[in-house]
Amino acid sequence: MKTIAIVGRPNVGKSTLFNRLSGERHAITDDISGVTRDRIYNTCIWNGKEFTIIDTGGFVKDSKDIFESAISVQVQIAIEESDAIVFVVDTTTGITDLDDDIANILRRSNKPVFLAVNKVDNHERLLMANEFWSLGFENTFFISAINGGGSGDLLDAITDLIGDEEEPEKAEYPKIAIVGQPNVGKSSFINALTGEERNIVTDIAGTTRDSVNTLYKKYDKEFLLIDTAGIRKKSKVYEDLEFYSVLRAIRALEDSDVAIVMIDAKMGLEAQDLSIIDLAVKRKKGVVILVNKWDLVEKETNTAKEFEEKIKKKLGKFSDVPIIFVSVLNKQRIYKAIETALEVFEKRQQKFKTSELNEFMLEAIQRVPPPTHRGNYIQIKYVTQIPKYYPAFAFFCNYPEHIRANYKGYLENQLRKKYDLTGVPISIYFRKK
């Protein structure tokens, strides 16, 4: 999946544009310079094409302010790690010295650059915006991030650059990414499995700086384990190298088949863990939750069943995931964790017979038919599996656009019960018959 970085000096509207492109309000927006301190990642889908967008902090060259100085270096890293750049400027201030500095850096990057001249929301500002052609970027767009003006043309240009991406090839080995916050025991987990001190293990959070692949060949099992750097909460990412590790960890997740999300039993499932799981689900990766350091929890006040119920309640819609309680230190159930991850991998590869699929699902639909829409009966006639690298299904009906989300959830639950898709995100589409 392509990665697009949004860069620019502070207070030009980068986070507002990020929210516009992602369709969600993830980034904090304010008129105060430097509100966005760290990267925010999300997925954008346009014209049927999908890409990752990164919202960067404001670029301030040679600043003595520790945050602004860190932001400038992190923008450099975002440029290096991205496939293309959206350079945001502000028509109300005209071209500043900082804009010129950033433009010079971007020209040297040899990456495709899309210049987004922001806050162009009336005729007078449209005339003012023509000044920015002098920066010399061929792909220049006049936009208003706050109301969406011109964003469609910008997205069209980005998706034209992306082109049609092919489905990933089937891997030689199943790829399992070990992800989670720092210091939850990821490297210790791999060391315990391999019986080698291959990864440095310390009590200092963030020891693992980059993704490390380990080919596992034991007990008739072969697969790749990807040990990623700990994904910190955004407010805790201060080091440039740490930010680099976060970006690489996310890419490792995208390259995997199954994500083992490790959490600390004493800390429980935190917001950052939910963000990691949400990212894995969006990328249609298999998910296994590993609760480490379970030996340190007082069992009288917190049983495994109660702990699991709390986790599933926090997970919300995608709660059909395996949860394994382990102690990496004592090597308790660590092999069970791998066996479960491989089971999820196999479930993700399943191919379903069309005849059996229709027989079961049409019976379930007849038993609980979809609600009518304005007096019109919705009839689902046929279902088939779509050839993708994860389970995806197309339901053909007369009014596909009027099927409600809760009924879609009912169909997903039926599929999960029938085919045991625990830990596997699936997609359901409705098409006109």
Residue 380 near residue 365 (C-beta atoms within 8 A): yes
**Fold assignment, 175-348:** Rossmann fold (3.40.50)
* Cβ-based burial of 305 (10 A; exposed 0-12, middle 13-18, buried ≥19): exposed
Q: Is 413 left (phi over 0), alpha (psi -120 to 50) or beta?
A: alpha
Q: Tell which residue, 367, 393, 396, 399, has the closest CA to residue 381.
A: 396
Q: pLDDT under 70 in the chain at which residues?
A: 24-41, 57-75, 78, 164-171, 196-214, 218-219, 229-249, 299-301
Give tens-digit pLDDT for 163-202. Answer: 765 555 555 789 999 888 878 888 888 888 877 655 444 4
- CA–CA separation, 8 and 103 (whole Å): 9
Q: Are strands 175-180 and 258-264 parallel, antiparallel or unpaired?
A: parallel
339: its two tokens: 């066996």
Let me know if the fold of 175-348 is the same as that of 354-432: no
- For residue 185, the SS3 value is coil
Gap between the Cα atoms of 303 and 291, Å rounded? 13
Predicted confidence at residue 26, as pLDDT, reads: 47
Contact, 252 vs 176, CB < 8 A?
A: no
- The structural domains of the chain, with segments of one domain joined by +, span 3-162, 175-348, 354-432
**pLDDT of amino acid 107:** 87
Dist CA 262 CA 360 (whole Å): 36
What is residue 31's predicted lDDT score, i.e. its pLDDT?
44
Mention the CATH class of domain 3-162.
Answer: alpha beta
List Cβ neighbours of 65 (8 Å cut-off, separation of 6 or more).
34
Taking CA atoms, 139 is separated from 66, 116, 133, 136, 415, in Å, by 33, 9, 10, 9, 46
Tokens of 412: 């997903």
**Helices assigned H by DSSP within 61-202:** 66-81, 97-109, 123-129, 151-162, 186-194
The predicted pLDDT at position 202 comes to: 47
> Helix axis angle, 14-22 relative to 151-162, nearest 10°?
70
Taking the CA atoms of 227, 232, 238 and 240 in sequence, report the sign of the dihedral they define: positive
Return the number of other C-beta atoms located less than 10 Å from residue 408's C-beta: 15
State the pLDDT at residue 259. 93
pLDDT score recorded for residue 244: 54
> Looking up tokens 């040297």, which residue turns up?
108
Dist. CA 279–CA 52, nearest whole Å: 11
Answer for the pair 159, 46: CB distance below 8 angstroms, yes or no. yes
In the numeric block, the tokens 């995806």 are attached to 392
Which run of H or E residues covers position 416? helix 405-419
Torsion of CA 404, 391, 256, 338, to 10 degrees: 110
- Beta bridge mates, 3: 52
Closest alpha carbon to 262 in 209, 208, 188: 188
Q: Which fold has domain 354-432?
A: GMP Synthetase; Chain A, domain 3 (3.30.300)
Number of Cβ atoms within 10 Å of the Cβ of 372? 11
The answer to whether 47 and 159 are in contact (CB under 8 A) is yes
DSSP letters for 62-99: T-SSHHHHHHHHHHHHHHHH-SEEEEEEETTT---HHH
Q: Whose CA is closest to 159, among 45, 243, 70?
A: 45
pLDDT (0 to 100) of residue 167: 53
